[in-house]
């Protein structure tokens, strides 16, 4: 009898695999009933009975139980989701960013955006996210201070599901994401000045999430299902009823179980360009766990970078990455514990992502370094039912030469075409000085986002994407690892050196049907042509056979001597010598004009300067009538600061009243018979930020009687701003 199998979803496929594997196991037992009684087992009949109960007896409703099971189902994520959901994101990104082709694309101050305000039950609320149709909230991040480091109370968050006028969840936002309300760790947990909610919130018809105070930094990931998908809406009653399942899943997340199956072990000392190759069992199977340990090496950081993990499945190379980058250990060995990867205190590196194949596979380790490397490897394999939606596992790595931090640009993690699912990434930044290295937002384009020319995932900052928050300069005290998030390495002191963040995606994994582009803004607190950072990055994803992507092996980069702080500092100092700059300057030419009068014109004419100007450029603005104004906004400011301005002086310069956040701070006549810059600087005194920003407004009040106009216009040239506070000392 021949059986024609129906199309199976991932859960059913895994059940069948376990069922068949169970039969194989039982056959080996001495007391197996078929052997003991002489009965003949009709496996086809048993298989059909199993299908009847698993496929036709279940309706595949999406509910809390199915979602929690999916969260810890390593097999399901290897199969492209057949229910066709999209992973989308709502965030408080700055709405000045409207297109990569228009000004504002790299606008900061990402904590203020929202959809609208509305009155609900007599209370004004800020709408953060809304969706029509079935879906699931899969992750919520929030910074856990509110418009200043002192306010750690913030606002309440409310979830309105299926059009209800009363929220099903109404609690303090910070307590919710920190695991201090009804959701407990690890489903919600505090990291560093931020919290992350991973407990799923499903809805059948619609979802709206609001704050009862002004919007502040937040990111919400959610699944949007096709219209007829059966989703059971979240209730507190159902939440309470699955207490046992919640406990079981929690335990698995914080204590990932060891993989079971066949073990393949090897140990070898690799000379330069030698490989250790392990051939995997033939036929459909999967790698369920990889354990690697590097021993007896004097320079462990270099060995981590120059020992390459290579995976080939069904005769296609899908993994090429330095072992250290793959396991978040760059510059040193650092223990951590996460759901899919861990590094133990003894240096054992463990990967638990399932890596399936249809017919054949190999795992190799190659040494491309001058010195020998001693390796031990253990690979656990298991049975796997390859189906029409099965995918191969990919790990793609990129590293560049040091990157100048101005002008800003989008640094690409991955571009791929075909069908696949992004399940994680890792970001390494070598920082040469004290200060903040990660201001950039993630921008992820999926499928029809390319036609819109706007990403469906637009974030609020690099550290926010990885589940923590800035506000102060990071130190090693800010290191953490949670099931799905890790700030694994922080440079010392105050972020000097290697900084390594990572993120795993399960319920918030990102499927793409046609193509994906994953970018991160190259942006930091120091935006200068002479200031450099060094980036390296790994993306973890699954792809169906035939998928193509842009990250090819980079042996020449991995074989180089591991970049050092001292080497990068030397590059910065040499670059500084080529151009005059002022330490700590916020270069005015890097900031757009926020608002201005109609007759105010930028770059109308050159503003003559005798001598050098910082970074070789001025902000060049020309005014015509008394009362004309121009505003410049300096964002990401969280505390009282002293503001000073360096301006041009000369025969074409006008007189201005200068305001900070609406308050008059200084009146300055910038006319001079000798062209140059203001000395001393214009001191605007101490100022409190408003909405974490300083808006500096220049109002033209007229000109000196000896000043000379250019076609009736007078100049304002701004070289730089100095913002002095206690940021580096906190």
Tell me the average pLDDT of the chain: 91
Residues 238, 271, single domain; the answer is: no
Q: Check whether 55 has a pLDDT greater than 60.
A: no
Asked, for residue 468, whether it belongs to a domain, the answer is: no
Distance separating the N- and C-terminal Cα atoms of the chain: 74
Q: What mean pLDDT comes out for the span 476-490?
A: 98
Summarised one tens digit per residue, pLDDT across range 187-202 is 999 999 999 999 999 9
Give Cβ neighbours of residue 658 (< 8 Å, ≥ 6 apart).
645, 664, 665, 666, 667, 668, 682, 684, 696, 697, 698, 699
CA 727 to chain centre: 24
CA 716 to chain centre: 39
For β-strands 392-399 and 316-322, DSSP reports them as parallel
Residues 147, 4, single domain; the answer is: no
For β-strands 201-203 and 135-143, DSSP reports them as antiparallel
Helix (H) / strand (E) containing 129: strand 123-132
Residue 94, pLDDT score:
93
Residue 633 sits in a domain whose CATH number is 2.60.120.260
* Count of CB atoms situated within 10 Å of the CB of 653: 26
The token duo for 271 is 């000379």
Better-predicted residue by pLDDT, 508 or 149: 508
Q: How confident is the model at residue 128 (pLDDT cuts 50, 70, 90)?
A: very high
Residues 195, 312, single domain; the answer is: no
Residues 278, 389, single domain; the answer is: yes
Query: Residue 677 to residues 580, 672, 718, 722: CA-CA distances in angstroms?
Result: 14, 10, 9, 14
Asked, for residue 602, whether it belongs to a domain, the answer is: yes
Asked, for residue 148, whether it belongs to a domain, the answer is: yes
Q: How confident is the model at residue 58 (pLDDT cuts 50, 70, 90)?
A: very low
Nearest to 558 by CA among 394, 297, 365, 378: 365
Give Cβ neighbours of residue 409 (< 8 Å, ≥ 6 apart).
521, 522
Residue 11, pLDDT score:
43
Residues 142, 208, single domain; the answer is: yes
Residues 93, 20, single domain; the answer is: no
DSSP 440: P
Residue 553, pLDDT score:
98
Asked, for residue 73, whether it belongs to a domain, the answer is: no
The residue from 228, 254, 280 where one domain ends is: 254
For β-strands 663-669 and 714-724, DSSP reports them as unpaired
The residue from 254, 278, 295 where one domain ends is: 254
Query: Residue 136 to residues 9, 221, 229: CA-CA distances in angstroms?
Result: 19, 9, 12
Spatial distance between the Cα atoms of 392 and 79, rounded to a whole number of angstroms: 9
Q: What mean pLDDT comes out for the span 242-253?
A: 98
Nearest to 128 by CA among 72, 177, 68: 177
Q: Check whether 4 has a pLDDT greater than 90.
A: no
Asked, for residue 70, whether it belongs to a domain, the answer is: no
Residue 48, pLDDT score:
40
10-27 vs 64-71: helix crossing angle, rounded to 10: 60
Asked, for residue 76, whether it belongs to a domain, the answer is: no
Answer yes or no: are the C-beta atoms of 700 and 656 closer than 8 Å.
Answer: yes
Structural domains in the chain (count): 4
Q: What mean pLDDT comes out for the span 423-427?
A: 98
Burial of 2 (0-12, 13-18, 19+ CB in 10 A): exposed
Q: What mean pLDDT comes out for the span 444-466?
A: 97
Summarised one tens digit per residue, pLDDT across range 320-370 is 999 999 999 999 999 999 999 999 999 999 999 999 999 999 999 999 999
Residue 50, pLDDT score:
41
The residue from 225, 254, 283 where one domain ends is: 254
Spatial distance between the Cα atoms of 207 and 36, rounded to a whole number of angstroms: 58
Q: What mean pLDDT comes out for the span 569-592?
A: 91
475-483 LR contacts (CB < 8 Å, sep 24+): 478/192, 479/334, 480/191, 480/192, 481/336, 481/337, 481/338, 482/186, 482/189, 482/191, 482/196, 482/338, 483/186, 483/198, 483/253, 483/254, 483/338, 483/339
| Residues β-bridged to residue 667 | 657
Q: Check whether 23 has a pLDDT greater than 50.
A: no
Residue 307 sits in a domain whose CATH number is 2.60.120.1390
Summarised one tens digit per residue, pLDDT across range 200-216 is 999 999 999 999 999 99
| Residues β-bridged to residue 664 | 659
Side-chain half-sphere exposure of 85, counting CA atoms within 13 A = 26
Q: Check whether 14 has a pLDDT greater than 70.
A: no
Residue 680, pLDDT score:
87
Domain span including residue 422: 262-440+473-577
Residues 615, 548, single domain; the answer is: no
Residue 59, pLDDT score:
56
Summarised one tens digit per residue, pLDDT across range 379-395 is 999 999 999 999 999 99
Residue 31, pLDDT score:
31
Q: What mean pLDDT comes out for the span 699-720?
A: 96
The token duo for 623 is 């005014």
Q: Check whether 56 has a pLDDT greater than 70.
A: no
Q: What angle do CA 499, 502, 506 make, to 5 degrees?
A: 175
SS3 633: strand
Q: Which of 120-129, 577-586, 590-599, 654-663 has the lowest mean pLDDT?
A: 577-586
Summarised one tens digit per residue, pLDDT across range 540-552 is 999 999 999 999 9
Residues 554, 430, single domain; the answer is: yes
Residues 153, 214, single domain; the answer is: yes
For β-strands 285-295 and 135-143, DSSP reports them as unpaired
Residue 38, pLDDT score:
35
Spatial distance between the Cα atoms of 551 and 411, rounded to a whole number of angstroms: 13
| Residues β-bridged to residue 139 | 221
Answer yes or no: are the C-beta atoms of 138 and 504 closer than 8 Å.
Answer: no
Residues 387, 524, single domain; the answer is: yes
Residues 324, 238, single domain; the answer is: no
Q: Check whether 721 has a pLDDT greater than 80.
A: yes
Residue 728, pLDDT score:
66
Q: Which of 25-39, 293-307, 675-689 has the lowest mean pLDDT?
A: 25-39
Side-chain half-sphere exposure of 117, counting CA atoms within 13 A = 9
Summarised one tens digit per residue, pLDDT across range 656-695 is 999 999 999 999 999 998 898 898 899 999 999 999 899 9
Spatial distance between the Cα atoms of 641 and 693, rounded to a whole number of angstroms: 11
Better-predicted residue by pLDDT, 419 or 12: 419
Asked, for residue 465, whether it belongs to a domain, the answer is: no
Nearest to 333 by CA among 320, 324, 342: 324
Residues 268, 350, single domain; the answer is: yes
Percent of the chain having pLDDT more than 70?
A: 92
Q: What mean pLDDT comes out for the span 478-493?
A: 97
314-320 LR contacts (CB < 8 Å, sep 24+): 314/357, 314/358, 314/359, 314/360, 314/361, 314/392, 314/545, 315/360, 316/392, 316/545, 318/392, 318/393, 318/394, 318/395, 318/543, 319/355, 319/393, 319/394, 319/395, 320/395, 320/396, 320/397, 320/552, 320/553
Helix (H) / strand (E) containing 286: strand 285-295
Asked, for residue 354, whether it belongs to a domain, the answer is: yes
The token duo for 696 is 């500096």
Q: How confident is the model at residue 729 (pLDDT cuts 50, 70, 90)?
A: low
DSSP 671: B
Nearest to 431 by CA among 522, 504, 343: 522
Residue 2, pLDDT score:
30
């Amino acid at each position: 009898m021949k059986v024609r199998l129906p199309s199976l979803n991932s859960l059913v496929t895994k059940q069948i695999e376990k069922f068949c594997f169970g039969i194989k196991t039982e056959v080996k037992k001495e007391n197996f009933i078929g052997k003991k009684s002489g009965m003949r087992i009709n496996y086809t009949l048993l298989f059909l009975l199993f299908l009847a109960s698993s496929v036709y007896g279940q309706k595949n409703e999406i509910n809390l139980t199915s979602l929690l099971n999916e969260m810890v189902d390593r097999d399901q994520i290897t199969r492209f989701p057949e229910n066709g959901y999209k992973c989308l994101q709502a965030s408080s990104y700055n709405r000045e960013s409207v297109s990569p082709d228009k000004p504002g694309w790299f606008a900061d101050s990402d904590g203020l955006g929202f959809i609208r305000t509305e009155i609900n039950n007599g209370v004004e609320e800020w709408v953060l996210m809304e969706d029509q149709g079935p879906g699931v909230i899969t992750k919520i991040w929030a910074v856990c201070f509110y418009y200043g480091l002192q306010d750690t109370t913030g606002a309440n968050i409310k979830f309105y599901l299926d059009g209800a006028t009363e929220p099903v969840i109404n609690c303090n936002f910070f307590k919710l994401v920190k695991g201090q309300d009804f959701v407990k760790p690890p489903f919600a947990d505090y990291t560093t000045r931020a919290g992350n909610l991973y407990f799923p919130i499903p809805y059948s018809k619609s979802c709206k999430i609001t704050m009862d105070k002004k919007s502040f930094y937040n990111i919400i990931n959610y699944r949007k299902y096709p219209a007829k998908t059966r989703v059971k809406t979240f209730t507190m009653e159902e939440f309470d009823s699955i207490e046992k399942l919640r406990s079981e899943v929690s335990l698995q997340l914080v204590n990932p179980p060891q993989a079971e199956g066949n073990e393949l072990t090897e140990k070898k000392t690799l000379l330069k360009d030698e490989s250790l190759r392990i051939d995997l069992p033939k036929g459909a199977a999967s790698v369920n766990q990889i354990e690697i340990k590097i021993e007896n090496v004097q320079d462990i950081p270099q060995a981590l970078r120059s020992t390459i993990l290579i995976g080939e499945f069904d005769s296609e190379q899908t993994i090429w990455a330095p072992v250290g980058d793959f396991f978040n250990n760059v510059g040193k060995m650092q223990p951590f514990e996460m759901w899919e990867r861990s590094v133990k205190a003894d240096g054992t590196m463990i990967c638990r992502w399932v890596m399936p194949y249809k017919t054949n596979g190999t795992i190799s380790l190659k040494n491309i370094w001058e010195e020998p490397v001693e390796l031990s490897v253990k690979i656990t394999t298991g049975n796997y039912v390859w189906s029409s939606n099965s995918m191969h596992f990919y790990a793609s790595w990129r590293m560049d030469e040091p990157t100048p931090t101005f002008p800003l640009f989008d640094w690409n993690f991955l571009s791929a075409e075909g069908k696949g699912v992004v399940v994680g990434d890792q970001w390494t930044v070598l920082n040469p000085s004290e200060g903040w290295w990660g201001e950039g937002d993630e921008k992820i384009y999926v499928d029809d986002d390319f036609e819109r020319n706007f990403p469906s995932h637009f974030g609020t900052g690099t550290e926010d994407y990885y589940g923590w928050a800035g506000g102060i300069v990071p130190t090693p005290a800010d290191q953490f690892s949670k099931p799905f998030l890790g700030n694994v390495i922080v440079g010392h002191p105050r972020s000097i050196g290697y900084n390594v963040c990572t993120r795993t995606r399960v319920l918030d994994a990102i499927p793409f049907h046609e193509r994906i582009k994953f970018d991160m803004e190259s942006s930091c607190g120091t935006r200068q042509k002479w200031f450099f950072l060094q980036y390296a990055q790994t993306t973890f994803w699954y792809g169906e056979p035939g998928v193509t992507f842009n990250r090819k092996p980079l042996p020449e980069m991995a074989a180089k001597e591991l970049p050092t702080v001292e080497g990068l500092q030397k590059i910065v100092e040499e670059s500084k010598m080529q151009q005059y700059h002022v330490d700590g300057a916020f270069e005015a030419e890097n900031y757009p004009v926020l608002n201005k009068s109609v007759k105010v014109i930028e770059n109308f004419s050159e503003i003559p300067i005798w001598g050098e100007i910082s970074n070789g450029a001025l902000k060049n603005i020309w005014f015509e009538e008394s009362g004309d104004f121009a505003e410049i906004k300096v964002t990401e400011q969280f505390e009282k600061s002293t503001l000073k301005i360096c301006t041009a002086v000369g025969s074409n310069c006008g007189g201005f009243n200068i305001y900070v956040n609406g308050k008059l701070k200084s009146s300055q006549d910038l006319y001079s018979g000798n062209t140059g810059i203001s000395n001393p600087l214009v001191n605007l005194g101490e100022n409190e930020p408003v909405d974490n920003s300083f808006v500096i407004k220049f109002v033209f009040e007229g000109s000196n009687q000896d000043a000379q106009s250019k076609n009736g216009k007078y100049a304002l040239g701004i070289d730089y701003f100095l913002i002095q506070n206690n940021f580096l000392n906190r």
